[in-house]
Amino acid sequence: MRTRLKIARLSIASLSIALAWGALPALAQQDAGPFPKLGEHRFSPTGIVRDPWVKSYVVSNLGLGQALNNATAPIVIGGDTIPGLAGNLMFASLDLEYQQKIVDWFAFRIGYRVDARVGTDLETLLSRGINTVMGFEIGWLARLLESHNNMLSLDVRVSNKSYTTVDIASFVEDVINGIDASIVRNSPAIRAAAGLRYAHEFSNLFGIIANGEVGFGESIQRYAQDDEVFYQLGGQLDFDLAAWRNIPLNVAVGFETDSYPEASPDVTGNLNTGYLRVGFIARDDFTIGLMFSGSSVPIATDAASPETSDSESVTFSSVEFDLRYYF
């Protein structure tokens, strides 16, 4: 309850700041069509390093990934130790988001996301189980500054996610030990964050996007008692081939680090992600994108007791297909 009250107060305060800033006159405002654009450069929108444009849009993302030869920790069941082996992990995600421009400088959005991680071999199914994250997010975006080749916006968001783990090894261990066993563990968590989004156009071909945010929220770790403070930092190099050589493509290369990833409770550190996105931009109101990414995250070797466990780095690659329509 205390966390929810803090988040409500933060949301109201951040919204008041956004309204105050937005009431100030922007510099050289421009709205050359619905697509994110500065000068003649059209930017590549992604769901990782987000852009600062106050636009109305709807987007859907579908992603699949895999971690190969993931080493599993030894499993202790009934006093017997099963040696750790190597297995594979599969990742899947579905993201739906809608943003509505309320006035020229302010927009509201709502989104729903589902992420899943599952062991595809017996070894990883026993040691890593099945993990899902699902829930919604609401956010507010206010443009603070715009010139011919710069844009800066304030972003505020609140999310309510449910982190569910199907832990087979711990369930079997609890049954053997005569403990009230539960194969499914659920950890709901509410969090809020505020940050800045920035974009700069260097030329028709080249631009950059950068953003950073800080926030706090309920921990998804069962043993943690206090709320957690977290941060995200990211940057993107953006290339518009349509403005440069009349090729209807834009290409983005970027990186993000997240200290509180939307992942399973056994994650013990930052999620670091690098990506390459290629987008088709033949129309000024619609884009189709294909993104390839590689990520690394430390995961506790003992999922049942991550607070006392060692951790190992899990590296996985994924591909994501997105459709985005501006109006």
DSSP code per residue over 119-186 = ESSHHHHHHH-EEEEEEEEEEEEEEEEE-SSEEEEEEEEEEEEEEEEE-HHHHHHHHHTT----SEEE
CA 298 vs. chain centroid, Å, equals 17
Rounded CA-CA distance 314/301 in Å is 11
Q: Where are the domains of the chain?
A: 2-326
- 187 vs 44, residue with greater confidence: 44
pLDDT of residue 278: 98
Would you say the pTM of this structure is higher than 0.85?
no
CB 133 within 8 A of CB 163: yes
**Type of residue at 60:** S
pLDDT in tens, 192-249: 999 999 999 999 999 999 999 999 988 776 555 567 889 999 999 999 999 999 999 9
Tell me which residue has tokens 């929810």.
Answer: 4
Helix (H, G, I), strand (E, B) or coil at 232: strand
Helices (H), the chain: 2-23, 122-128, 168-176, 241-245
Q: Which has the minimum average pLDDT: 95-99, 125-129, 167-171, 231-235? A: 125-129
Mean pLDDT, to the nearest integer, of 81-108? 84
pLDDT in tens, 175-195: 666 676 677 778 888 999 999
Helix (H, G, I), strand (E, B) or coil at 272: strand
Tell me which fold the domain 2-326 belongs to: Porin (2.40.160)
Backbone angles phi, psi at 8, to 5 degrees: -60, -45
Choose among 145, 166, 133: nearest CA to 262. 133
